[in-house]
Amino acid sequence: MKKTGLLLLFFISFFICDNICAETLALHADNDTYIDQVYPDFNFGQDWKMLMSGSTTKSAHGLLRFNLSGLPAGARITKARLTLIVHSNQHTNFFHVHPMTSIWGEDYATWNLAAEGVTWTTPGGDFDPAVFVETGLPDSAPDWMVIDVTSLISGEQGNLNAGAAANGLLLKADAGYNKVLTAEFTDYENALTCHSCHGANDPSRDVGKSTSCAQCHSRDDISLYGEPTLIIDYKPKLCPAETVFEHDTTTLNLLRRFRDGVLSRTPEGRRWTAFYYRHADMITGLLENSPELRRQTKAAVERLLPYICQLVDDKEVDLRAMRRQARQLVDLYREKIGMDQGLLHLMMTASKNSAPIP
């Protein structure tokens, strides 16, 4: 096969994504309480339950917040699910889960107050009424709910929604009223017997039920806990290729074949692949912040795909035409985004001083 310059291969390699396995993070509620229109100045922060009421004159809303500091910086969220135990239900058909828009305190929040000395903009909690996830309640209680809240927790590119992380979620009922267990359930004096899953035959499993449920209970691919829990599936590394091509598995697989079948054959190719992974987060950050750059990058890489196919299949390649297309990709990053001059110099120097890849 004819030889291909490293500058060309380097820029193609910058859009090759590894098959990165998703990881899962289970977060129990850091703060949970409810606010009640009937008791507008009373705080329920240490109660064993959240009460949600859909009555127009006796409304009550549940508030949840999770400490998301354990999510790695730059992680891409692929799915987020909220799990709850509905303790009892009287005529509530569904919940609306909204992102909140104000900071609140678990031990201070009431119908009127968000935090100590701070009122809500609107009594009953500050939230975005136009953004929500709707979910039906179980047919009977007690029972678990698993609510997909991916659209509330993450943005279009899978990045963490900073507002939801800081302010949390609000639960509204459409009608009737219901009770959901909180993290404080383990300290509730009747926790040993209240809707026990295992009865008197195995009382040891009832101790701290809210944290022991996962020993025996699961649904689909997740363990179920008694306290409100946010289950987040994420990819810990950012990938330029996935940012540009998203769910286009055909293109992503072709780029991976190019990495594994062409670049991996030589020390130079392997070195460029390692260089790519060291700087992938930077490139992804640039792409995420510019929809226009994503569009132009996708178009430029797509023009290179026929040549990549030929390289993967070990066929003759029109290197002059391929280099012209690759130069457009180089110029795009140099001219459109003002690529970091130190990185650009390193690329140019390395490509000039290195032997071509067979």
Which pLDDT score, from 0 to 100, does residue 7 have? 45
- The DSSP letter of residue 332 is I
d(CA 44, CA 292): 48
Q: What percent of the chain has pLDDT over 70?
A: 73
d(CA 298, CA 155): 20
* Among the ranges given (28-32, 40-44, 227-231, 260-264), the one the predictor scored with the smallest mean pLDDT: 260-264
Q: pTM for this structure?
A: 0.66
| pLDDT tens-place string over residues 208-228 | 344 445 555 677 777 777 789
* Kind plus residue range of the DSSP H or E element containing 309: helix 291-312
Whether the bond between 142 and the residue before it is cis, its omega within 30 degrees of 0, is: yes
Overall average pLDDT of the 89-118 stretch: 96
| pLDDT tens-place string over residues 285-340 | 778 788 888 888 889 889 888 988 888 888 888 878 877 877 777 677 665 545 44
d(CA 179, CA 51): 5
Banded model confidence at residue 273, pLDDT cuts 50, 70, 90: low
| pLDDT tens-place string over residues 161-217 | 988 889 999 999 999 999 888 877 655 555 544 444 444 444 444 443 444 455 556
> b/e per residue, 51-83, with b = 16+ CB within 10 A?
bbbbeeeebbbbbbbbebeebeebbbbebbbbb
Q: Are 179 and 232 in contact (CB under 8 A)?
A: no
Provide the mean pLDDT of the chain: 78
Q: Are 31 and 62 in contact (CB under 8 A)?
A: no
**Which pair of tokens denotes residue 115?**
């935090």
| pLDDT tens-place string over residues 132-157 | 999 999 988 878 899 999 999 998 77
